[in-house]
Amino acid sequence: MSASRTAHVILPPPEMEHTPANCRAREMLVRVADKWSMYVIHVLADAGTLRFSELRRRVDGVSQRMLTVTLRGLERDGLVTRRIYPEVPPRVEYELTPLGSTLRDIVHELIEWSGAHLTEVDEARARYDAQLHDPKFVSA
């Protein structure tokens, strides 16, 4: 702690200080830490190149608008490439960039984790929900 700071000031830990790099890392996590972005990266990592309609079928539950917004964000961040073939109707294909491919393992790990811990999470939810209906439960 520097001499100019008084002892009673509670300082944030160094990694949480508002350096530009920290703020940017947070902002980037916004893009990646998003369910649909993760699914799109996961699906493209497995499939290679896909057209919009194929991608939409595989990213189950995504709306057309949400997939469009997600792909634009991933493209802007340099994680996904969009290639337009001048056919009639135009063919548009998406694939991961080399940068996007570096997320492959992390995203797969997270999806694997989700699959591996289903039962534990189910049990935890059942316990939590039972407790909510227990008159001894005090909310804080």
Q: Which of 16, 49, 51, 69 binds a copy of itself (CB under 8 A)?
A: 16
Q: Does 24 bind a copy of itself (CB under 8 A)?
A: yes
Neighbours of 62 (CB within 10 A): 19
Q: Does 51 bind a copy of itself (CB under 8 A)?
A: no
CA 33/CA 30 separation, integer angstroms: 5
Structure-token match 């935890």, residue found: 124
Q: Which of 127, 134, 135, 136 binds a copy of itself (CB under 8 A)?
A: 127
Closer Cβ to a copy of itself, 3 or 60, answer by number: 60
Q: Whole-number minimum distance, CB 87 to a copy of itself, in Å? A: 12
Q: Whole-number minimum distance, CB 135 to a copy of itself, in Å? A: 16
Sequence-distant (6+) residues with CB within 8 A of 44 are 50, 55, 80, 94, 95, 96, 100
Q: Which of 56, 66, 77, 95 binds a copy of itself (CB under 8 A)?
A: 77
Q: Are strands 80-85 and 50-51 parallel, antiparallel or unpaired?
A: unpaired
C-alpha distances in Å from residue 57, one per residue of 45, 52, 53: 15, 9, 6
Closer Cβ to a copy of itself, 46 or 69, answer by number: 46
Cα dihedral 66, 67, 69, 70 in deg (nearest 10): 110
**Contact by Cβ (8 Å): 128, 73:** no
Residue ranges that bind a copy of itself, judged by CB under 8 A: 10, 12-13, 15-16, 18, 21, 24-26, 28-30, 32-35, 38-39, 46-47, 57-58, 60-61, 75-79, 82, 84, 90, 92, 99, 102-103, 106, 109-111, 113-115, 117-118, 120-125, 127-129, 138, 140
